[in-house]
Structures are given as C-alpha cells and as structure tokens.
Amino acid sequence: MPDAYWALRQHKQPVAIIGAGVAGLTAARLLSPRIPTVLYDAAASVGGRLATRRCDGHAFDHGAQFFKPRHPRFAAEVRRLVDQGVVAPWIARFAEFRGGTIASRRQWTSESAHYVGIGGMGALAASWATGLDLRLSRRVTGLRSALDGTWLTLDSDGEQGPFGLVILALPAPGAHALLPADCPLRSVTARARMKSCYALMLGLDGDLDLGFDAALVKDAPLSWISVTGSRPGHQGPSGIVALAANAWADANRDRPPADIQAALLAALSDLCERPFHASVTTLHHWPSANSDPVRADGPQIDPDHRIALCGDWLRQGRVEAAFLSGAQIADTIIAAMVTKG
C-alpha cells in the first residue's frame, strides 16, 4: 500500500476520479486542496442521480427525490448548504399508498429534515463541483497499470496519465467493467446486485392538486409520485415525477420505452383516479438506480493497481451514503500520505 501513496506525495502524481456523482464530487472536494485531482464523467453535467431535467420550460428532479442527514458529518455539510442557500427542507404533504388507496398521510416540516436542492437537485451538485478540475463528456473505457502509475483510456482522447491513484466512483457494473482481470476489487463489485428504475415525467399547463405533494407507493408498478411545483424554488409550470418500483423496472426493462411509458402513465392515472393530459411527457431509465448494500469492510483500495472504489452501493442507496463513501476514501488517502510522508 505505501507505494501508491508515496507516488502521490513525493512525485506529485495526480488522482483521477471517474464518476462525478455525489461520491466522486465529495472525494474530489476533499482531495483537491491537497493534491491535484481530475474528475471525469461521461455525462455533460455533474451530479449523477442528483439530476434536474429541463424540457420546454418544465423542470423535473427525476433521480434522487430528497435526502435526510443522519450522520453527524453529513448533517454538518447540510447545515453549510442551508446557510449558503443551496438546499432547503421540502415542506410537503406526504401520503402513502397501499393496495391502490391512500393508507396514511402526514405533513413534512422543517424539523422532519427532507431536504432538496433549491430550484432543483442539480443545484446541489453544481455547488459541490465549484472549483474542481472537471472533464465532462469524457467516457473512460479502460485502465492500464504501469510502473509509472495508472493510465486511463478515453473514447475520445486516447490515453491520459499517469495517475498515482484512480478512484472509481461508479455504479458497481461500470466499475467492474474497468477493473483489471487480476484486481482483487473485482470480488467486491461482483457481489453488487444493482436495481433499475424508470422515471416518468409529465409537464402540465395548469396548477395541480392531487391532495398530496409526495407519495410513497407500495405494491404497484410505481414506487413514488411527486408534484414538482411543491419543491422549494421550483420554477416553471407544475408537473409530476413518477418513479417505477425497482422490481417492476427490472422485470420490464426489455420492453420498448413507449410501452414502459404507457404502462406507468396508466398506473399513475389509476392511483390518482384521474387522466393526465400533459404538454410534456418523457421517460428516463436509470439502469443502476439502487442496490442492496455490499457492506464491504473498510475503504476499498488496491495498492498494486493504484485503484480505489467508492459509491453508495457499498453502503446504502442514499445521498448520504454516497457522500460518506467518497469522504471515507479521501480521508484514507490523506491520512496515508501524511503517515508515509
């Protein structure tokens, strides 16, 4: 293990992070003040599932719906973001559907701590990305370990490197595909069982009142419904985001997108007991939306290949879990550099 950290400290080799979701952004923010850190992502914007899609004047948070701080470290970060006007509590009328009907209701308050990005979850990702060395729209297709460090192969720019350490802040299948055949971290990524999700987004022309602002759905093709206009700082006309249940999404993922969209719209209409006439209708597939946590012990680092893993799938499928995973790997690297220096 010392060799990789020695290269980072003595030779000033940079760290490469692949994946600009919550885990990758957190690791980059903690590492970049101490060592050059480059963050790559195949998408054109940061955030991963902290996603806000804008379409014909409508805005949809179609990934992570909210986050709740439980761990003291994440709670401190959320307080900082609140003070900066980046996030706020979602004061929502919450309902729970069971068997096709509303079984319970309650009011979320500022004390119940369901936070969202003001104006969209993308605002949170954008805040965390400020000042980082970002290489967006750059898909990493391979890793190569050499005596001078680890090299990245990009689909558009050839090889880049050498890096003293490469952190894969990706869903388990993406990380597994990049790991060398003899890397021991493959046993960790192979244990993960990712679950998919579809997000149905409806943009409406007028105001909307379903009697609730957010709803958890049990025993149905849908698992979640939210009204966009109820979210703090929402701009534009109101709309709906409806998320498919993971089991339903996995069972139907081979169907044409048009069939998926029609099935989810029908399920939404049945639950809400009304038809929806939308000016905007769009669908997004998240192939790795959630997982049962692998719960691997300790930080996942292969010093021989100079590769590390982080991500919510290692802990629990939440924004907080992704944040803590990125922080743990950064803390480990920083502590080792200091100890070995």
Environment class of 81 (CB within 10 Å of its CB; exposed 0-12, middle 13-18, buried 19+): buried
- Paired tokens of 49: 């599932």
**Spatial distance between the Cα atoms of 22 and 48, rounded to a whole number of angstroms:** 7
Residue 111: pLDDT above 90?
no
- Paired tokens of 7: 């290269």
Q: For the residues 221-225, what does the mean pLDDT come to?
A: 98
Tokens 């750059």 -> residue:
138
Q: Which residues pair with 202 in a beta bridge?
A: 240, 281
pLDDT band at 1 (very low <50, low <70, confident <90, very high): very low
CB-CB contact of 15 with 165 (8 Å): yes
Which of the 8 DSSP states describes residue 87? E
Q: For the residues 272-277, what does the mean pLDDT come to?
A: 92
**Spatial distance between the Cα atoms of 24 and 329, rounded to a whole number of angstroms:** 10
Instruction: State pLDDT tens for residues 235-262.
Output: 889 999 999 999 999 999 999 999 999 9
**Spatial distance between the Cα atoms of 280 and 55, rounded to a whole number of angstroms:** 8
Alpha helices in 121-221 (DSSP H): 122-129, 172-178, 186-191
Rounded to two decimals, the pTM is 0.93
The CB density around residue 113, as the number of other CB atoms within 10 Å, is: 16
Residues whose CB falls within 8 Å of the CB of residue 258, separated by 6 or more in sequence, listed in order: none
**Angle ∠(90,204,286) on CA atoms, nearest 5:** 65
Q: For the residues 118-139, what does the mean pLDDT come to?
A: 96
- Paired tokens of 166: 């490469």
Environment class of 188 (CB within 10 Å of its CB; exposed 0-12, middle 13-18, buried 19+): buried
Predicted local distance difference test score (pLDDT) of residue 2: 41
Q: Which of 21-30, 82-91, 142-151, 223-232 has the lowest mean pLDDT?
A: 142-151
Alpha helices in 68-121 (DSSP H): 72-83
* AA identity, residue 41: D
> Residue 234: which of 57, 55, 59, 51 has the closest Cα?
59
Residue 110: pLDDT above 90?
no
Instruction: Give whole-number Cα distances, 289 to 98, 195, 317, in Å.
Output: 23, 6, 8
State the chain's mean pLDDT as an integer. Answer: 92
Higher pLDDT, 156 or 300: 300
CB-CB contact of 15 with 87 (8 Å): no
Predicted local distance difference test score (pLDDT) of residue 11: 52
Residues whose CB falls within 8 Å of the CB of residue 251, separated by 6 or more in sequence, listed in order: none
Predicted local distance difference test score (pLDDT) of residue 8: 57
Residue 39: pLDDT above 90?
yes
pLDDT > 70: percent of the chain: 96
Which of the 8 DSSP states describes residue 229? G
CB-CB contact of 27 with 5 (8 Å): no
pLDDT band at 156 (very low <50, low <70, confident <90, very high): confident
CB-CB contact of 178 with 261 (8 Å): no
**Spatial distance between the Cα atoms of 329 and 293, rounded to a whole number of angstroms:** 17
* AA identity, residue 196: S
